[in-house]
A and B are shown apart, each in its own frame.
Chain A
Amino acid sequence: MVVNSVEFLFFFVIVFLLYYLPFRSNVKLQNIVLLAGSFFFYGICEIKMIPLLFISILVFYFIGIQIERYRDKNNVLTSVFSYLGIVLGIGLLIYFKYFNFFIESISSSLTAIGLHSNLHTFNIILPIGISFFTFKLISYTLEIERGNITASHDIVAFSNYISFFPTILSGPIDRPGKFLPQLAKFRSFNYNTATDGCKQILWGMIKKMLIADNIALFVDPCWTYVNEQSSFTLLLAIIFFPIQLYMDFSGYSDMAIGVGKLLNISVAKNFNYPFFGRNIAEYWRNWHMSLTGWLTDYVFMPLNIKYRDYGVNGSIFAIILTFVLIGMWHGASWTFVLFGLYQGLLYIPLMKSGAFFKKKKIKLNKSGYPCFKDFRKMVFTYFLFSVGLILFKAPSLLYSYHFLHAIVNNWSLPLITVSEWSRPVVFFGLSCLLIVHEWNHRKDEYAFSAPLFIKSHFFRIVFYYVVFAVVLAFAADSTQFIYFQF
């Protein structure tokens, strides 16, 4: 059940009505409705993994209370429970996501040096959303240990933090310090917040259903039938993919945030107009912010402090390691490891030159758009990111090699016919216009949040329904959200 489906609409209407109407002013009942909705939602997606989610919540609830109990009193026990939380959280990820990857890597390494191995992979089902909810569990443990938050003594509220249905499948990864206090208070209905939520959902639908799914019609076949595509077509597929990925993932994030607003719950922001980044650091600062922020706080910063004696080289090491982890977070494959490494390596010139530490404002021309120099940097950064995504998109290293090989060798193949690519190209053009629109609204929370020029309330509503109808009419056949696989 995806957020932009009819099934979700009916599910959400029921949750919404139960959430606000029968249980007025009762925060506990409101949280119970939310939790029941979240478990139902997760169960529809992955019923077999409900016990795993439930047990994880119980264990970390207990760990959180124990850390708080011994914090400031018994450092050893505090550390024991903190490490237990971290080990269990990472252990969950390793077992479900990386175990077979490690076995395969060891086995192929042994084979490569001429040794025979009897190592076999296991049939492990990857629980949907595990990368997102384990990060929340670890974050919760670390925040209590650091004394930034107090442990939750309300199991329902804590369960809601971990399993909150709009974000459990694909994030954003909320932090307990901001999310849990919201669940302690009664959330009354707020018309402005709710309508803003609806607008953000609509904006997410435009991005996902209208843009991403239509561009996918071009990009996905290029990747499936690499050898049949001309070099030019494959280059276009590389250029189109970051837009598809952005529209897909940020579209989902907008819908999740919008659903949160309808429940009067603030969800972490995940994207902040990343295509306006003039270097890779600015780009990543605004791309999948809830993940990069998480890794900055819990991995990069501690490493940076640890290796500060080594100066810039220490920071470079910290950043490369952080990016390798970002890559690995996406999946158990060497392609993701190299994707992370590639992104990390792009930081080296920035850090060596000191540009990483300087924050310069974008220079504008008379029309209010970026000056040519900054625009050129944005395009170049986009290009660098696009190239890295070859590793992200390829199912294996060998496949990415085939893809690059085809780009070099397929110049003689005919281009795909105009009828095949006219629709995706139109939507790529439309997405460029949307990005211009985003530039004009870059100071807003999302590019559709500004009040409409239409003064009549009735016609404003009509306008939004017309946009909604256009999205439904021109949406391509729905494809799964790209980040569901992670």
Chain B
Amino acid sequence: MKKFLFETLGPLLVVIIIYFAFDPFKVIRSYSSYYTDGQPQLVALDKDFVSLKTYQVSPETKKYDSFIFGNSCSMFYNVADWKKFLKKESVPYHFDASSETLYGIEKKIEYISNNGKLTDVLIVADANLLKQDKPKKGHLYAISPELVHYTNFVPFHLSFFKAAIDPKLSLSIIAYKMLGRRIGSIVDDRVLSYDSIHNEVRFRLFEDEIKKGCYYNESRMKVFYQRDSIGNYSESVLGENQISLLNRINDIVRSNNARCKIVISPLYDQVKFNNRDLKILEDIFGKHSVYDFSGVNDITEDYHNYYETAHYRPKAAAYILNRVYQ
């Protein structure tokens, strides 16, 4: 029995020890900063968890009162641009998550309402985000256990452990460390600019390349497909559950006397946000709180407003902020 346990549980134990020691997804220990400014973050982190933890450990925690919620598109809304439209003493914070869900936003707003201040809310949404009324699966999209009263604690940590034991991950990291360049797409070697106070992540290299005029090269241009969805509308995504979550968000926002703005993202596909859903959002939050930038317009017409088809640039986000708040 001892021999068998040594041969089977021994290696498992070693893997667990290595996992705890290296904590590749930074979910075991607490960190003062989850990204290092000017360095790549080789292993993709769960942005939901990073946003929550950074919020908790930041020296500014008590002062945060303005929050940008949304998926990765919301990352490109500069807090500096937003601050122009907020009160002088406001301290904004990016509370985004990868592939964010409506469910996740509701949980985050509830958490902030219970633990901090809420003065201004900016929700960067699209049909796909608003459709999601349940937490997403996958370690990069897992909702932080604290936001759901630790009900997902075990599956949350198991999903990271599962991802960590994938030999592809360790081999990619070893190869990157040895060769100095990435093999495959697991390791992300893009250099980040990170402002931990506002939890703002940027890929400065992209903007530098755009300035130099070399960003939109032949290989990158391949992703900008010909759009044929002009005049198309997205399917209605707001059902009973989604409406209930939206009402809950509105209730929390109102109980905090906060100002809330919802932006429907100008996605490259130019599919117009569903009219019925837009009406529901306007009915819940008020007509002057919802701004639809989807479909064919001056932002979506120009591919220079996009890094690729999924993400628009900070300059497009700044333009949107101007339109929303002025």
**Which residues of A does B touch, CB under 8 Å?**
5-7, 9-10, 13, 20, 189, 191, 194-195, 198, 461, 465, 469-470, 472-473
Contact = CB atoms under 8 A, between A and B. Distances in A.
Contacts of A20: 1
Contact of A472 (B9, B12, B165): B165
A194 B9 CA distance: 13
A210 to B, nearest CB: 13
A470 B166 CA distance: 10
Contact of A10 (B4, B7, B158, B165): B158
B4 A194 contact: yes
B171 A198 contact: no
A465 B7 CA distance: 10
B62 interface: no
Given A189-B1, A191-B3, A195-B4, A469 B167 contact: yes
Contacts of B162: 5-6
A203 to B, nearest CB: 16
Given A20-B1, A194-B4, A473 B166 contact: yes
A189 B161 contact: no
B8 interface: yes
Nearest to B11: A465
B171 A13 contact: no
B165 A6 contact: yes
5 contacts: A6-B158, A10-B158, A13-B9, A189-B4, A198-B8
A129 B161 CA distance: 28
A296 B57 CA distance: 66
B165 A7 contact: no
Contacts of B7: 195, 461
Nearest to B6: A461
A230 B28 CA distance: 49
Contacts of B161: 6
A198 B9 CA distance: 12
A444 to B, nearest CB: 22
Given A198-B8, A465-B11, A473 B167 contact: yes
Contacts of B1: 20, 189, 191
Contacts of B158: 6-7, 10
Interface in B152-174: 155, 158, 161-162, 165-168, 171
A472 B161 CA distance: 13
Contacts of A5: 162
Contact of A473 (B3, B12, B155, B168): B168
Given A6-B161, A189-B4, 8 more contacts: A9-B12, A13-B12, A20-B1, A191-B1, A191-B3, A194-B4, A198-B8, A472-B166
A473 B165 contact: no
B3 A472 contact: no
A201 to B, nearest CB: 11
A53 B12 CA distance: 34
Interface residues of B, number: 17
Contacts, number: 33
Interface in B1-41: 1, 3-4, 7-9, 11-12
Contacts of A189: 1, 4
Given A6-B162, A7-B158, A13-B9, A473 B171 contact: yes
Contacts of B168: 472-473
Interface in B248-285: none
A472 B8 contact: no
Nearest to B138: A477
B154 to A, nearest CB: 8
Contacts of A465: 11
Contacts of B3: 191
B166 A191 contact: no
A75 B250 CA distance: 71
A376 to B, nearest CB: 41
A7 B152 CA distance: 13
A191 B4 contact: yes
A213 to B, nearest CB: 14
Closest 8 CB pairs of A and B: A473-B167, A6-B162, A469-B167, A189-B1, A473-B168, A6-B158, A194-B4, A472-B167
Nearest to B165: A472
A5 B166 CA distance: 12
A9 B171 CA distance: 23
A307 B158 CA distance: 57
Contacts of B155: 7
A461 B158 CA distance: 26
A219 B9 CA distance: 37
B10 to A, nearest CB: 10
Nearest to A478: B162
Nearest to A13: B9
Contacts of A469: 167
Interface in B225-262: none
Contacts of A194: 4
A5 B154 CA distance: 14
B13 to A, nearest CB: 10
A461 B9 CA distance: 13
Contacts of A9: 12
Nearest to B162: A6
A195 B1 CA distance: 11
Contacts of B167: 469-470, 472-473
B12 to A, nearest CB: 8
A250 B219 CA distance: 44
A253 B182 CA distance: 39
Contacts of B8: 198
Interface in B303-318: none
Interface in B166-186: 166-168, 171
A10 B9 CA distance: 11
A336 to B, nearest CB: 30
A30 to B, nearest CB: 14
Interface in B197-213: none
A136 to B, nearest CB: 30
B319 to A, nearest CB: 37
A216 to B, nearest CB: 18
Nearest to B7: A461
Contacts of A461: 7
Interface string B144-158: 000000000001001
A13 B3 CA distance: 15
A198 B5 CA distance: 12
A259 to B, nearest CB: 13
Contacts of A195: 4, 7
Nearest to A21: B1
Contacts of B12: 9, 13
A20 B166 CA distance: 30
Nearest to A9: B12
B186 to A, nearest CB: 11
- Most chain B beta carbons < 10 A, residue from A6, A20, A189, A195: A6
Nearest to A195: B4
Contacts of A7: 155, 158
A209 to B, nearest CB: 12
